[in-house]
Copies of this chain bind each other. A is one copy, B any other.
Amino acid sequence: MPERRKICVVVGSRANYARIKTALQAIRDHPDLELQLIVAASALLERFGRSIDVIEADGFTPDATIHLIIEGESPATMAKSTGLGLMELSTAFEALEPDVVVTVADRFETMATAVAAAYMNIPVAHTQGGEVSGSIDESVRHAVTKLSHLHFPATELSRRRVVAMGEDPSMVFNVGCPSIDLVAQADLGEPDQALREFAGRYGVGAPIDPAKPYILMMQHPVTTEFGQGLDQINRTLEAVAAIGMQALVFWPNVDAGSEHVAKGIRVFRELGRANDFHFFQNLPAELFARLMAHCRCMVGNSSSALREGAFLGTPAVTVGTRQQNRERGPNVTEADHHVGDIADAIRSQLEHGAYAPEPLFGDGTAGRQIAETLARVRPVVQKELHYGAGALRGVEEAPEPVGSEHPRW
């Protein structure tokens, strides 16, 4: 019997766990694969809800846990955390000797994972390549694509973008996003069921009334707009408060500016403004799917509103630039960082109600497809830039750079 191929997956945050969970299950259950799981970064930290507890409760046993967050939530500490992650992950890869490393999306632990594995001659498989957005995520995602050997973009347009960047088309597979698998498989239950499960078990703040409608709010810092996070969260909080509906509010992720966002929430709460707000850090992914399925509107800048939101038809208001240019279905409305704009957009979505489902990010089979592809396809370590003649011909016709007429610093 041939040895099973060792697939090492690095999970570093609550969001990325939801976006890889069904692949973890499918890898674990595949006869030709052996799952190696590294849990790292904010997924280990109390302040971010210790996703590792959920991961272990789901039946996974980490092969290694890696603390890599250098506290400070500034651009410099984000860079340093990436460096620390690189150092620690290479130690783990040396010990685990994986055949393939899987890295998820566009976070700094994603970058650290891809760089470490690439330098160590371990083929890298990457999910969510080819998407566009704002924040530093946009650059990181594409840089990780260039370090990766096997690509699992989540949409057809993303697949084309990955290939257009020069990746070998035979190594690029549009499988959809595993987060959609979770939603597709979840028993979404009755509208008030999710809240009843939730109430009293998670978070702090005002008590939840399961009989009443609610808004779901999740707003992260935008690293390329570092320093504006306090102001940005304030405006969204004000807008949601103006609606007068109870709201479930996530604490922000660990990116640069996180503490500014968190401070905005803390101050808002201490000022007694948060009478209808309930705050929490982390949830089991299925429960989160139910909350999304039944909320009246999702507000903030999480890509969940665009991904799972499209599939569930969740009315959503996306604030600011963090999701700019990302593919989305009709369920998403955009708003700038103005209280009035945000409140108007929410009201308009409340009026509209649920949207028709839109399978933009997959049909619920992503995890299984990823595992099967990992068992079947064998990338070579030495990458080569791959262009059909068409790609460069297109460029040839592009106008020459001009520069001086269009300063854009």
Contact = CB atoms under 8 A, between A and B. Distances in A.
Nearest to A114: B143
Contact of A119 (B45, B69, B75, B94): B75
A387 to B, nearest CB: 6
Contacts of A85: 83
B170 A402 contact: yes
| 9 tightest A-B CB contacts, nearest first | A378-B409, A83-B86, A390-B394, A83-B87, A79-B90, A79-B119, A142-B146, A143-B146, A160-B395
A381 B409 CA distance: 8
A72 B225 CA distance: 27
Nearest to A266: B204
A378 B408 contact: yes
Contacts of A381: 224
A80 B87 contact: yes
Given A84-B87, A111-B115, A115-B115, 13 more contacts: A70-B70, A76-B93, A83-B116, A108-B119, A142-B385, A164-B166, A169-B401, A170-B403, A172-B401, A204-B270, A377-B403, A378-B407, A388-B394
A83 B90 contact: yes
27 contacts: A46-B263, A69-B71, A76-B93, A76-B119, A79-B120, A80-B87, A83-B116, A115-B143, A134-B382, A138-B383, A138-B385, A146-B146, A160-B392, A160-B396, A164-B391, A169-B398, A169-B401, A170-B408, A204-B270, A224-B382, A325-B384, A373-B403, A377-B403, A377-B404, A388-B398, A390-B397, A394-B394
A62 B39 CA distance: 25
A8 interface: no
A170 to B, nearest CB: 5
Chain copies in the assembled complex: 4
Majority DSSP secondary structure for residues of A touching B: helix
Interface in A156-171: 157, 160-161, 163-166, 169-171
A257 to B, nearest CB: 11
Interface residue tally on A, bucketed by range: 35 or more
Contacts of A134: 382
A115 B79 contact: yes
Contacts of A44: 72
Interface in A177-235: 204, 223-224, 226
A292 interface: no
A112 B408 CA distance: 26
A78 interface: yes
Contacts of A116: 79, 83
